[in-house]
Every structure is written in structure tokens, then in C-alpha cells.
Chains A and B, each alone.
Chain A
Amino acid sequence: DVKVTQSSRYLVKRTGEKVFLECVQDMDHENMFWYRQDPGLGLRLIYFSYDVKMKEKGDIPEGYSVSREKKERFSLILESASTNQTSMYLCASRAPGVGVNTEAFFGQGTRLTVV
């Protein structure tokens, strides 16, 4: 069974803290993504990676960075957490290409609250 696992379901952090969100997939996918989901705004892409040690900015990368040291693991880093980063964070992975069987598989999400 396909699995994308995020390290925490709920997190509460203080403003200014450095926050790490971890994501691991077991499908040997090259492509991994980090989204945040906010009411009325839908899923917005923060960063993505198409290979180990490779990263690309998404639509809203400001205040975030990522790390992809191993194929199965993609980490999202909030350098200095702020209250406007309170959100649901979703990690996803997918196979490369544009054909069928390239849908994204999502982790269960991390609800981050910054106080």
C-alpha cells in the first residue's frame, strides 16, 4: 500500500522558532511537494523537488526552505516561524512524467499552530 508519512499530525510552536516538518514516502518517487492549505485559498505550492538535492520554489516560498538529502525524505523548514504560517501543511509525492499513474499521493497533513 502506497504511503506518504508526515512526522507530526499536530504541532504548536512559538513565534521565532525554527520548525522542521518531515515527510517520508515509500514509493520510490522522484517528485515530492510541500503544500499549505488554508480556508478559501486551497492548496498552495511552497516548494517541490524532482530529485535528491534538487529543489524548486513554488508559488509561496517566502519564509520557508527545504531539504532533500535522500530520495524518500523531503523536509520543510520554517526558518523563523510566524503566526501567519499557522496552517495545514501537506506533503505529496508522485511518479515523474505526464501520463496516467502520475497522480499525487498525500500525507495525512500537519496542522501547525504558531503562537
Chain B
Amino acid sequence: GQNIDQPTEMTATEGAIVQINCTYQTSGFNGLFWYQQHAGEAPTFLSYNVLDGLEEKGRFSSFLSRSKGYSYLLLKELQMKDSASYLCAVRVPNSGGYQKVTFGTGTKLQVIP
């Protein structure tokens, strides 16, 4: 089976930096995604990692270590609007030759003034 773990909740201060970790144990690996989901809304894509290392995109960066089954999402210069859930998702090959994406349960981030 597939197992993806991330903390349930985190709190951080406006203007600070926060790191949200994700560990995974999956049968196969074809990439890791991070999505942001505001309360009552659909998830929206943030980042994609398939090779080891850091991908930077503005205030958001995502890191991957395939050998450790580990990723993190780094949010800099936190803003109140960053309060949301952050979903880690891993793509694995499925029986039948398809690709399947499995989601973690999400980390609810609260940004406080």
C-alpha cells in the first residue's frame, strides 16, 4: 500500500518562514506534488518534484529526497492569506500501466499576526 505522512496542524507568524514536511512510503515513485487548499475551496497546484533537490517558485519552495522518501514545502515571508491546508501527493505506477496519485491527509497551517 501507499503511506504518506504529514503533520496535521501547524501555526506560524506573519512574516516568518515555515517548513511543512511530508514523508512517504510507496511502491514506486513518479513524482511528488504539493497543493494548497483554502477552506471550502478546491485544491490548487503549488509545485512538482520528480528529481532530488530544491524547486523554487517565488515565496514557495519544495524539496525532495527520493532516497529518504522525504519532501518539504517551504513558505517564506508568510502572509495571512497563506492560512490554508497543504496537501502532499505522490504519483506511483498503478497496475494496468496507469499512474495513480495518492494524497496525504493535509497540513492545516494557521498564520497569526
* Chain A complexes with chain B: yes
Q: Which residues of A contact B (CB under 8 A)?
A: 4, 33, 35, 40-45, 48, 50, 56, 58, 90, 98-100, 102-109
Residue A98 contacts which of B31, B89, B96 (CB distance < 8 angstroms)?
A: B31
CB–CB B104/A42 < 8 A: yes
CB–CB B45/A43 < 8 A: no
Residue A106 contacts which of B43, B50, B100, B106 (CB distance < 8 angstroms)?
A: B43
Residue A109 contacts which of B30, B42, B48, B106 (CB distance < 8 angstroms)?
A: B42
Residue B99 contacts which of A40, A41, A98, A103 (CB distance < 8 angstroms)?
A: A98
B48 to chain A: which residues have CB within 8 Å? 100, 102-103
CB–CB A107/B105 < 8 A: no
The answer to whether A50 and B98 touch (CB under 8 A), given A104-B45, A108-B42, is: yes
Given contacts A90-B43, A103-B48, 5 further A-B contacts (CB under 8 A): A4-B42, A40-B105, A42-B106, A43-B103, A103-B45
> Contact size class for B?
20 to 34
B97-113: contact bitstring with A at CB < 8 Å (1 yes, 0 no)? 01111111110000000
CB–CB A56/B96 < 8 A: yes
B73 interface hit (Cβ, 8 Å): no
- Report the minimum CB–CB distance from A72 to chain B (whole Å): 18
A48 to chain B: which residues have CB within 8 Å? 98, 100
- Report the minimum CB–CB distance from A2 to chain B (whole Å): 10
CB–CB A103/B42 < 8 A: no
Q: Which of A4, A48, A102 has the most CB of B within 10 A?
A: A102
CB–CB B30/A103 < 8 A: no
A56 to chain B: which residues have CB within 8 Å? 94, 96, 98
CB–CB B105/A104 < 8 A: no
B66 interface hit (Cβ, 8 Å): no
B40 to chain A: which residues have CB within 8 Å? 109
8 nearest CB pairs, A to B: A42-B105, A106-B42, A103-B45, A43-B103, A98-B30, A42-B103, A106-B43, A108-B42
